[in-house]
Structure 1
C-alpha cells in the first residue's frame, strides 16, 4: 500500500498525467479542425512549456530546507489542478463535437395519425376493421404507413383523395370512417376547418424516417468554389426534423474565397410548381412532403443547383441570438412588435425574442411580406457577422446548446469546421448583398392542397425571377454586380 501511495504521489507520475492530458487536448483540438494551425502550435508550445516548468517546480531537491521541501508539494498540487482543467477541456471539446454531429442529418421525420370524429365508436386501430380510411396518396411514406396499419387491421377499405379539403370533407361528410393524416399538415387542416382539433381525435399513429440528402456526391471544394445553401424556417414547434410547412425560404449563395454572400428571399406564398405533385401551390406547402421536395422545388424555380440545406424553427432563432449575446440590427421605423417590445428607428441591440418579433412583423409595413423578408435578411446577416467574429469562440458552448434540437443541416461537420477554420485564420470581413423575388398578391382558388378554397398567393413577377437568377449565376461565377 505504501509503495502504491509513493508511486501516485511521485512528481514524475503527476507530471506525466499532465503531459498525457496536454497531448490529448492538442490532438482533440486538431481533430475538430476549427482552430488554424498557428493557433494550434501556440497552444501546444504553451502546454509543453507549462509541463516542463511544473516538472522542475515539483521535482524534489537534495537541499535540506523547509521552503525547498514545501515547493515540490505546491508544484504537485498545482499540476493536479492543471490536469483537472485539461480533462475538463477535453470533455468540453468531445461534447461539442458530439453536439455538432447531432445537427448533421440526412433525414426528416414524418408522423401519420389515424384520425376519427370525436363521437365515433372507434378508439383503437383495430376498431376500423372493414371500415373506410381516406388519405392523400401523394404523402411522403404514405405507403409505409398503410403497410403498418395493415399489420394492425387485417381488412379495411381505402379512399384515395387529393388535397387537404377532399380528405377532411370525406371524414366530416361520413364518406370515410377515418383519415390517415400527415401531422405536418395539421396547421393547414386547421386553417381549412377551424374546429378540426375539437371535432376529432387520434386513435393510432406511426413515425418514419424520410431520406432527404440533396446530392449523393458533392465534388465542390467549399473553400474554393461558390455554392448555394437553402435555409428553411419551419412553423413546427416540435422537432426541427418533423415534416412541416416552410414559412421562411432563403437561398444563400456563398463565395468563401471572396468572403461574399448573396441572400435571396422567396415569399412563402409564392405560386410555384411543387416538384413532387407536378402542380402549382404555395412554396410553403412544398415542405409538407419533406425538405428534399422544397429544395428541388426551389432549384427548379430559380434554375440553380443547391449544395446544402439548413432547417431552423422559430425557437432556434431566439436561442442562437441569446447565445451570441444579442445582435445589432437596423430598423427603418419605430414599431411595437407583437411581443410588446418597442423597436426604435435606427440601430437596436436585440435579444432573441426581439429578433424573432422583428423577423415576423409585417402588419406595421405597407409592403407587408416584402418588408418582413427584408427584416429576416437583416437578422440573418447580423447573426452571420456575429458568428464570424471572435464571439464564435467565446460563446461556443452556448451556441451548441442553443442549436441542439432546433437546427439541422446536411453539411458535414468537417466542412463546417473548414469554413470556421478559414474565418479564424483570415479574420476577413464579409460583404452581403440582398435580393428577393417580387410579384403581385392575388386571392384565388386552384392550389394543389386546397383547390376549392380562396387563398392568398403571390404570383412571381417574371422579370424579378429572371433578375434573381442572374444575380445568383454571377455570384457563382465570381462576377461583380450590385443587387437592386
Structure 2
C-alpha cells in the first residue's frame, strides 16, 4: 500500500484508486484468517481454559478478525482508513502467530514433564588429583585406579569396560568411597572411578569438603539403565479437582539432566485438598535414618531393608525414596515431582532473578554452599539463579541452621511466585517455558495438570497454606550405601505420628492445625543470627563429618499471609526418639 502511494507521487498520471488493494496486504489479510484458525485450535488443544471462558474468548477472536478483514478488503475507502486497517491486519497476523507459538511451547512443556522416560542416565567419572600429570584418559595407561564394586557394581562394570577399551589400568578395590578418596589424597592410587550419584556424599564429609577443588575429571562414562515403571502414570491417581491427594517433592542434589539419579537433598510431602482449598507442606529431615525400601526398578546394589539416611534413597531412584517414606510414615503418596539444583537456577534466571528481604542479624558475608557467589546483606537483595540456590541451601551461616534454611527456601519460593505473576513475565514468558520444560519430572498426567489449572482459573480460589516440619535427634550410625558410619537423624516417633495425623486431617477436610503436636518441644520466637566464622567445634559433637540441621527442624505453621517473622518451635534435649529398628 505504501509503495503504491509513493508510486503515484512519482508518476502523476497514476491516480490513487481507493478500490485497488495492495497485493501484499491482501495476502497478509488472508493469512490472518489462517493464523486465527490455528490460534483457536491451539487454545482448544491446550485444554486449560474453562468452557465458560473459552467460548466468549474464542468468539471475540473470531468476530474481531472477521470485522478487520472485511473492513480492510471491502469497506475502507480513504487512505487513512486503508492504512489503519492494514496495520491492524498485520498486527493480528503477527499476534496470532506469536500466540500460537507460545501456546505450543506451553503444551510441549507440560508434555515434557509428564512424558516419563524409561531410561535413567548414569555418569561415572575418572577422577584424579588436580596436580596429577594425567590430563586425559590416554595418559592414564598403567595407572592404579580405585574402584568400589561392593557399593556400586553396575557403575564400576560399565566404567571399567569403557576405560579398558582404550587403555590398560591396575584396579584397587575399596569397600567405601570415603576410603577410596582418602587413598587418592594420600597418593596410594593415581585415580578413582566415581559414580556421580555419590559425589554429594563425599562432599558432605567435613574432611573432604574440598574434594571438588582438589580433584578434576579427565573422562566420563555415560550409560543408561531401564526404569521398569517409568512409562506408567501413578497407580494411585485420583481426580485432582475433586479428591485430596499427596505429592512427594524430591529435590535432588545434582545439576544437569533431571533423569540422573542422585541423593534427595530435600524431601517434602504436599497434601492438597481441592474442595477445602487447603495445602499442607510436610518437611522431612533429609538424614532421617530408616530402612530403605527398594522399588522394583532399583538395581541389585540397592540395600533393601537396611538402615540408611533418607537422602541416600534417591541414589536408587525416585520410586525407592517414595516407598521408603510411605513405609515409615504409613501414608499413601499419589504422585511425585522431582527437581534438581539446575531446576531452581534455570527458573530464577528465566524470570530475571528474584528479590528477597534479609532480616536484621541474618546477613551472610560468604555462603558455605557456594563460595563463588558471595553472600547477602540486610535488606532487599536481588538474587540470580546461582545465588538463589546458595541462599536456599545455606545452613552453616546461621545459629539456627536448618530452621533458617527452611525460611530462606520459603522466601525464594514466594519471591519466585510473585515474579511469575508480575507484568514483567510477558517479556520473559518464553524463557520461563523453556526453563520449566526441563526443570522437573512428575508422574502427574498432563490431563491432571490441565484439569487442575482449569479448576483454578474457573474458581479463582484463595488457597490456605499450612506447614509442618518433622524433627529428630542427631546420631552416628552405619550407612548401608556408604559402607561406613555417617551422621544421621534418629526419627522422633511423636513427630512422625503428628505428621501423619495432620496429613489425614487435611485429607478429611479439616485444618492440620486441629492436630496437636505431641513431639516434645520448647517454644522460641528469637531470631536466628548469622555467624561470621564456621566453627568445626560447633558440629563435632554430632559425630564424624557432615551434620545437617534438618535433623532438628522445628514445627512451625505458615498461613496465606505468610508472615516473615512467624515463630518457630524447637525440640528439647529429651525429645522422644525412636530407633528405626524398633519403630516399624
* 2:454 aligns with one of 421, 430, 452: 421
How far does residue 194 in structure 1 lie from its aligned partner after superposition? 5.8
How much has 1:432 moved relative to structure 2?
1.0
**Residues 36-81 of structure 1: CA distance to partner in whole angstroms, max 9, x if unpaired?**
22332232122222122223322346xxxx9546644653443133
Q: 1:179 to 1:332 in 2, by over 3 A?
A: closer
2-structure distance, mates of 1:122, 1:12: 64
Structure-2 residue corresponding to 1:472: 503
Task: Verify the 8 A CA contact 1:140 1:210 in the aligned structure 2.
Answer: no
- Check whether the contact 1:125–1:152 (CA below 8 A) recurs between aligned residues: no
Q: Deviations over 1:186-230 (max 9, x none)?
A: 232343656756467545522325527396543411112222222
Contact 1:113 1:205 in 2 (8 A): yes
Partners of 1:38 and 1:367 in 2: CA distance: 50
C-alpha contact (below 8 Å) 1:228/1:252 kept by paired residues: yes
Correspondent of 2:158 among 139, 142, 145:
145
Q: Indicate whether 1:45 and 2:55 are aligned.
A: no
Three-state SS of the structure 1 residue aligned to 2:432 is helix
Cα distance in 2, alignment partners of residues 204 and 396 from structure 1: 35
Does the alignment pair 1:238 with 2:256? yes
Distance 1:376 1:164 in 2: 31
Corresponding position of 1:481: 512
Q: Which of 479, 495, 499 is the aligned partner of 1:447?
A: 479
Q: Conserved in 1, the CA contact under 8 Å of 2:233 and 2:443?
A: no
Instruction: Determine the structure 1 residue equivalent to 2:330.
Output: 303
Q: Residues 14 and 372 of structure 1: is their aligned pair in 2 closer, same or farther, counting only changes over 3 Å?
A: closer
Give the one of 221, 244, 247 matched to 1:205. 221
Report the Cα distance in structure 1 between the residues aligned to 2:24 and 2:215, rounded to whole angstroms: 75
Note the 1:282-293 alignment, pairs <5 A. 282-293=309-320
Indicate conservation of the 8 Å contact 2:329/2:496, yes or no: yes
TM-score (norm 2): 0.67
SS at match of 1:257: coil
- Partner of residue 412 from structure 1, selected from 435, 438, 445: 445
Hey, what's the Cα distance between the residues in 2 that align with 1:306 and 1:95?
Answer: 30
Alignment match, 1:3: none
2:125 equivalent in structure 1: 113
* Structure 1 residue 383: Cα displacement: 4.8
2:373 equivalent to 1:360: no
Is 2:464 aligned against 1:431? Answer: yes
Checking the alignment, whether the CA contact within 8 Å between 1:229 and 1:310 is kept in structure 2 is yes
Distance 1:37 1:360, change over 3 A: same
Tell me, yes or no, if the aligned pair for 2:246 and 2:334 is still in contact at 8 Å: yes
Q: 1:417 to 1:121 in 2, by over 3 A?
A: closer
Higher helix share: 1
- The equivalent of 1:20 in structure 2 is 34
Deviation at 1:416, TM superposition (A): 2.0
C-alpha change, 1:189 and 1:326, in structure 2 (3 Å) is closer
Listed as ranges, the gaps of 5+ residues in structure 1 are 1-5
Q: Deviations over 1:272-326 (max 9, x none)?
A: 2233313222222222233332222222232223233223334543554565677
**1:156-215 alpha-carbon deviations (Å, 9 max, x no partner):** 998876532355467779998865431121232343656756467545522325527396
Cα displacement (A) at 1:20: 2.0
The CA distance in 1 between the partners of 2:50 and 2:140, in whole Å, is 63
| Distance in 2 separating the partners of 1:375 and 1:122 | 40
Instruction: Determine which of 241, 244, 266 is the counterpart of 1:223.
Output: 241
CA 1:334 to 1:194, structure 2 compared with 1: closer, same or farther past 3 Å? closer
Moved more, 398-407 or 282-291: 398-407
User: Measured at CA, do residues 132 and 52 of structure 1 come closer, stay the same or move farther in structure 2, by a change above 3 Å?
Assistant: closer
Task: Mark the CA change 1:167 to 1:214 in structure 2 (over 3 Å): closer, same or farther.
Answer: farther
Counterpart CA distance in 2 for 1:75 and 1:392 is 30
When residues 86 and 287 of structure 1 are mapped into structure 2, their CA distance, relative to the original with a 3 A threshold, is same
SS, match of residue 249 in structure 2: strand
Q: Distance in 2 between matches of 1:445 and 1:125?
A: 41
- 2-side partners of 1:128 and 1:281: how far apart? 37
The 2-side partners of 1:236 and 1:299 are apart by 24
CA RMSD of aligned residues (A): 4.2
> Does the Cα contact within 8 Å between 1:228 and 1:306 map onto a contact in 2?
yes
Alpha-carbon distance in structure 2 between the residues aligned to 1:140 and 1:386: 45
Write out per-residue CA displacement over residues 97-146 of structure 1, whole angstroms, 9 at most, x where no aligned residue: 33343344534422123456786999648977999873344548538726
TM-score (norm 1): 0.79
Q: What's the CA shift for 1:252?
A: 0.9
Change (3 A) 1:120 1:100: same
Find the aligned partners of 1:322 and 1:451 in 2 and give their Cα distance: 39
> Take 2:334 and 2:104, find their aligned partners in 1: how far apart are those partners?
28
Counterpart Cα distance in 1 of 2:448 and 2:98: 26
Instruction: Rate the CA distance shift 1:382–1:122 in 2: closer, same or farther, 3 A.
Output: closer
Correspondence for 2:297:
none
365-374 vs 129-138, greater mean Cα deviation? 129-138
| CA pair 363-228 structure 1, distance change in 2 beyond 3 A | same
